[in-house]
Structure 1
Amino acid sequence: MLQISTREGERPETTNTNPHEQLTQNPSVECHQLFKEKLFHFDKVSRRPSIISVPGAEALWLEEGEPCNCTNGFMIEREFAHIHPAYDGSLHMALSEEDFKTVIDKQWGERHPLAGKGPIPETIALVYAPRDIEEIDTVMKIVNASLKNAKTTKGTAL
């Protein structure tokens, strides 16, 4: 179960359609870069251009052949999360139902407007961009929960 504190301040403004983006409280270029340096260091996870997001978004992709949660562990193929470019800084990711609820309740994110429609799982969240080093640590916990969800399996593999 994801253990995070409540995010301080008001929720940022976001778009309510695609592209689903964070419009306010965006990180500095330096904060965004520092976060990305930490973000792409998970074992068995590749850094790739996102195949479902805006140009410049970078995906976290569970490597081929790794056992996975094929039900609600990914947004598309093996892309379980992606980060938007620095002008936005937010992330989209697939979460377990329990972790999704925690992220929403603790004000770290919101439901994607297309979640639950078509092939997009119900528990796809936009997680707000970290605004400082302390928030980077919290958002990393959320990304780790997304990876754990992607890897939770009953023995299936894509």
Structure 2
Amino acid sequence: MTPGELPRREGPMPLVSDERRQEQLTQNAPRWLRERLMLLARGLRGVLVRPATACVPGSEGLHLAPKLAQGPLTAFIAVTEFAHLHPSYDGSLHIALPSAYASAASTAGWGKPSVSSGPFLLFGPRDEAELGVVWTLLQISYRHARGRSGPDGQWIAGVNE
């Protein structure tokens, strides 16, 4: 999916806290969708689930094994952490996206830049269709962290692991 192909998120934007540690306050992801997203993320090659860095307590960080973390510094929230999922009462996630995707996701209503100008706050999925979009954006972040995406965030052909 190119940035221009990102579908528009239906409905109004959820309310989010404006504190340094942002949380999604309304339209939260059901627990089973958050768990499914975490299961998918755990299946990505080299992903290690550890406590998140500088985040809401109970968040789970998605880290890359150091030898696979070949992306630019902007592909990481901290060290090898490229995303983290907030606790189940929230369901949103912070994610390091290539700038073209962060801009497109913001325009399409999928999230907003973090108040600390750090990672992108991606709203939690409310249903299966939204899970598909959130999962796609998480994979784009993963590829970016792996150093396997071009300047526009597209997957480099032949590197599908």
Tell whether the structures are fold-level matches, with TM greater than 0.5.
yes
TM-score bin, normalised by smaller chain: 0.7 to 0.9
Selected match of 1:46 from 45, 48, 61: 48
**TM-score, length-scaled by structure 1:** 0.86
How many residues are aligned here? 146
Report the identity percentage: 30
Task: Give the aligned partner of residue 66 of structure 2.
Answer: 64
Looking at structure 1, the residues matched to 84 and 72 of structure 2 have their Cα atoms a distance apart, in angstroms, of: 17
1:127 aligned to 113, 119, 122, which one?
A: 122
Deviation (angstroms), 1:67:
4.6
- 2:151 aligned partner: none
In structure 1, list runs of 5 or more residues that go unmatched.
154-158
Aligned residue number for residue 93 of structure 1: 95
| C-alpha contact 2:22 2:56 (8 A) present in aligned 1 | no
What residue ranges of structure 2 are gaps of 5+ in the alignment?
149-161
TM-superposed deviation, 1:71: 2.5
Counterparts of 1:8 and 1:88 in 2: how far apart (Å)?
Answer: 19
Q: Which amino acid aligns with 1:40?
A: R
Residues of 2 paired with 1:14 and 1:57: CA distance?
16
Alignment map for 1:1-158 (pairs within 5 Å):
1-2=2-3, 3-115=5-117, 120=118, 124-152=119-147
Note the C-alpha offset of 1:86. 0.8
Question: Which has the larger share of helix?
Answer: 2
Give the whole-Å Cα distance in 2 for the aligned partners of 1:134 and 1:31: 11
Paired with 2:33 and 2:139, the residues of 1 have a C-alpha distance of: 19
